[in-house]
Amino acid sequence: MAVDLSVNFCGVRFENPFVLAAAPPTDNADMVARGFEAGWAGAILKTTSVESEVVSLVYPMMVGMDLDGRRLAALENIDLISERHIDQVEKDVRRLKKEFPKKVVAASIMGGKKEHWEELVRRLEAAGVDLIECSFSCPHGMPEKGMGSAVGQSPELTEKTARWVKEAAKRVPVIIKLTPQIADITAAAEAVKRSGADGVTAINTVKGLMGVDLDSFVPYPNVGGYSTYGGISGPAIKPVALRCVAEIARKVDLPISATGGVTTWRDAAEFLLLGARTVQVCTEVMRHGFRVVEDMIDGLANYLEDKGLSGVEQLIGKALPHVVEHSHLPRDGRVRAHVDPEKCIRCGVCYVACRDGGHQAMEFGPDRLARVDEEKCVGCGFCTTTCPVADCLTLRPASVI
Ligand SMILES: Cc1cc2nc3c(=O)[nH]c(=O)nc-3n(C[C@H](O)[C@H](O)[C@H](O)COP(=O)(O)O)c2cc1C
């Protein structure tokens, strides 16, 4: 069965849901062309502004977080919008639309005042973009100028600014890239809806501070002895992004483009299941190159086929009916931990975890085999997160144990 990977997002057709996010991989036409050749359905060009907007970058601007030997569990950047202003981006759009007429070329814009937003829209529409994304969400540098997440953190400013852009756009849909740095992201999405704009992107990077050098006392990244807060991306932010997408999808009737921590087709499928229509990727592309999309396309197609679904459209939102408020979670049907004695390597990790982080329900005898005391086990699930062996420690309905 041939599956249909294409999706409709805000009236624009994407040949598959995989899109390059606004970031270094989309900062010039040569790079985007290579991305398109690899299979990406669309690209959001790195955020640009009018020529008078000063973009003063500092170096180094990126630092990674390793976790138990896994490099780049998270990436922090203090990059700003592109140093390439709209005049250069206009040329890129013209070239990309000519060479890749079927790919979606989107511009990401940021303005300091109404006239700038309007000029950006007018010029980029004339250059031929298919979609305009507005960054109301960069968490560093730009907020100091009243831009970026300074806008996205206020539903009032979000509505007002999104309306300027939407009213200026005569031909193409306008989407707003939201910040997770707000108490209720659905309030921002509702403001976008009221503005008349066509959709949202969720989320931009999460504001953070990656760490401190214990010798010099300078936090990372060290820019001449000083540091500042930055935007965190990569696998570590996926749970925040999933939550934001689910919250918006459940409450606000707007198409969603997801971004935040996607490294595999599985991550992408989760975002689609929670209501996203396209999935944008940045950090994984920066780390492993444009061709990661080949595995994403194959993996998603195989998954759809295995599930007997004819296309991506059938997948979108399928997990949403399973997301409820805490008070609506079922209180019956308890589960208990179960250890597969054939798989247990007798390491004792689950025993310690249950003893000091759970309900003292794991027995660890002289033979070092873990055994569950079903009277004491409440089925909290913590032990299953610590066991190093796949499928050794599982949760089962209490009745079958
Ligand atoms: C170095 C760097 C620069 C970025 N620049 C922009 C930008 O100019 N505009 C924007 O909207 N997002 C920007 N982003 C955010 C990404 O588009 C994306 O939303 C974020 O990194 C989360 O996705 P990821 O986890 O796949 O990286 C940037 C991210 C990184 C790492």
Give Cβ neighbours of residue 316 (< 8 Å, ≥ 6 apart). Answer: 7, 272, 273, 275, 276, 277
CATH number at residue 387: 3.30.70.20
The contacts of residue 141 (CB under 8 Å, 6+ apart) are 78, 80, 148
Torsion of CA 145, 149, 150, 152, to 10 degrees: 140
297 within domain boundaries: yes
Stated as kind and residue range, the H or E segment containing 67 is strand 62-67
Q: Do both 287 and 342 map to the same domain?
A: no
Please state whether the predicted TM-score (pTM) of the whole model is above 0.75.
Answer: yes
The confidence score (pLDDT) of residue 350 equals: 98
Q: Is 138 a catalytic residue?
A: yes
User: Exposed, middle or buried, 390 (CB in 10 Å: 0-12/13-18/19+)?
Assistant: exposed
Does 19 reside within a domain?
Answer: yes
User: Which structural domain range is residue 387 located in?
Assistant: 330-400
Q: How do residues 98-136 score in pLDDT, each as one tens digit?
A: 999 999 999 999 999 999 999 999 999 999 999 999 999
And the tokens for 242?
């999933």
Q: Is the CB of 22 under 6 A from ligand 1?
A: yes
385 occurs within a structural domain:
yes
Of 322, 354, 383, the one marking the end of a domain is 322
Q: Return the best residue to mutate from 282, 285, 296 for the ligand 1 pocket (most ligand atoms within 8 A of CB).
A: 282
> 188 and 103 in one domain?
yes
Same domain, 367 and 276: no
C-alpha 140 – ligand 1 centre gap (Å): 12
132 plus 263 within the same structural domain = yes
Counting as low any pLDDT under 50, the low residues of the chain are none
**Catalytic position from the list 134, 138, 377, 387:** 138
Domain count, the chain: 2
Do 219 and 348 lie in one domain? The reply is no
On whether residue 1 sits in a domain, the answer given is: no
Do 132 and 165 belong to one domain? yes
